[in-house]
A and B are shown apart, each in its own frame.
Chain A
Amino acid sequence: METNNHSIETQNLSLWYGDFQALIDVSVNIPAGKITSLIGPSGCGKTTLLRCFNRVNERYGNVTTKGEIKILGKNIYDPDVSLLELRKTVGMVFQRPNPLPISVYDNILFGLRIHSPFGSLKRSQSDEIVEEALTSVFLWDDLKDKLKTRATSLQLEQQQKLCIARLLPLKPQIILMDEPCSALDAKGTLAVEELMSVLAGTYTFLIVTHNMAQARRVSSECIYMFLGELIEHRETQALFETPEHPKTADYVQMRYG
């Protein structure tokens, strides 16, 4: 492997929804163990790019993809790639918190139950896993007496943290986040951002955001996209302070978007 420090690499990735080309020749390398943010105006293909990385895009019928995506050095469109394994390695957090309408406890274990043979999880073992996952997202103290409550009845902030927590037992390498804070208030946003900074290092984060202040706060690298093309990819500070491309400058200096 020539580039071990890149979790995700794409080569000339193009994607069409029917006749509409949503991604045009995107080549990008996402560094491992860091937080990378994807910014750009609505409809520029940020979310589409993000969704390519665990192949959730394919569920929508008329999608055509060209080019190459390598995750941890492995092309994810190879015929021997199992979607199950891919989605175990690449977790995803969505825009709206979407805990499954089952108990908090079962939410955390749902992923693990899919990936382990039936009956192989012991009760004491699963209790431990749940505690560990909730502790690492700072929810254990709040929820330790509410493990049996329905996850959809929690506060939004707790729900979103739970959505992150349920990925952790699967030991993913990469966590994709699609505007994870857009449904949260300032306090919730801060909590999720803190959580990300703590977890970065162990996991590679790729986060789509509309909030440029957030991109600046949390990410170490930043990608600017415009109408399906990747315009600029640099360190966050450099991209915001001395953008190379005039389109990037227009956007980050709020002259556009």
Chain B
Amino acid sequence: MKRSVLIYQSIALITLAVAFILLWSFSKGTPFVESGLTFDETAADSYAVLQENLYRMVPILLGSIFFSIAIAFYLEEWLAQTSWIYGIVAQQITILASIPSLLYGLLALYFFVLQSEKGSFFTHALTVVLLVMPITIQSTQMAIRGVDISVREAAFALGANRWRVVIDHVFPNAFSTIVAGICTAISRALAISALIIVVYFWREPALQSGDTFNVPSSVIVLLSSALLSSVISSFLEKKANLT
């Protein structure tokens, strides 16, 4: 797969996504940038809904991490790298993972904040999945490839089957790198969530007290967890490199 092809496809995909968002908002008659900022007493409700949705994202997040790991193992251990399915899937994952998270943030912002009154669970879930899965799959793939070939050969030559090799050797050896990748993905998701809440809060006068701009406590929590998980991630990566 050529690098230039990848770059062109990514650019095309990003352009399409932005065009889609713009067209969608135009077709609804509300320009994206200055959509109606009239808020009533339901604003507080919808903030609650937003927060509730964030909590509901946790199982989605865990589920998508689990699936990402499964997909990565399937791609690396079971599927032959020469098969066309591998080619297509790996290409799409690379493209999705290389899109800046800001674009996902934009997408989320649009659907979370500007489009939905109560917030549509489906779009939120989709954003989280899109944000987390490609990076997790890619980092898990890297972690699996990082396991020395000699370990595999030794186990295979002793008669171990694929499951045995994966469970006994590849997974334990790749574990800390996999967790590091997950932490990076989560911190990305958390940071974007914080961004959305800030923007949401900002444009809802109903939630502001007086003239001061209050930063919601949830944002602090989100940002500090994002920071924490980045720290954990870099620590784990260092540890994985040492052993």
Contact = CB atoms under 8 A, between A and B. Distances in A.
A91 interface: yes
Interface in B129-160: 148, 150-151, 153-160
B158 A111 contact: yes
Interface size class on chain B is: 10 to 19
A176 to B, nearest CB: 9
A92 B153 CA distance: 10
Interface in B182-217: none
B205 to A, nearest CB: 59
Given A56-B156, A61-B82, A84 B151 contact: no
Interface of B: 80-82, 148, 150-151, 153-161, 164, 168-169, 173
A101 interface: yes
Contacts, number: 57
B82 A100 contact: no
Contacts of B169: 100-101
A240 interface: no
Contacts of B158: 87, 91, 110-111, 114, 166-167, 170
Contacts of B155: 100, 110
Interface of A: 54, 56, 59, 61-62, 83-88, 91-92, 94, 96, 98-101, 110-111, 114-115, 163, 166-167, 170
Given A59-B156, A166-B158, A98 B82 contact: no
A101 B159 contact: no
Contact of A96 (B81, B150, B168): B150
A39 B93 CA distance: 46
Contacts of A115: 159
Contact of A61 (B80, B148, B160): B80
B157 A101 contact: no
Nearest to B148: A98
A87 B157 contact: yes
Contacts of B150: 94, 96, 98
Given A94-B153, A96-B150, A163-B154, A111 B159 contact: yes
Contact of B161 (A61, A62, A84, A100): A84
Contacts of B81: 61
Contacts of A84: 159, 161
- Those 7 A-B pairs whose CB atoms lie nearest each other, nearest first: A98-B150, A87-B159, A111-B158, A92-B157, A98-B154, A84-B159, A61-B80
A161 B164 CA distance: 24
B159 A88 contact: yes
Contacts of A62: 82
A115 B155 CA distance: 12
Contacts of B173: 101
10 contacts: A56-B156, A56-B157, A59-B156, A83-B161, A85-B159, A86-B159, A87-B157, A100-B151, A111-B158, A170-B158
Nearest to B152: A59
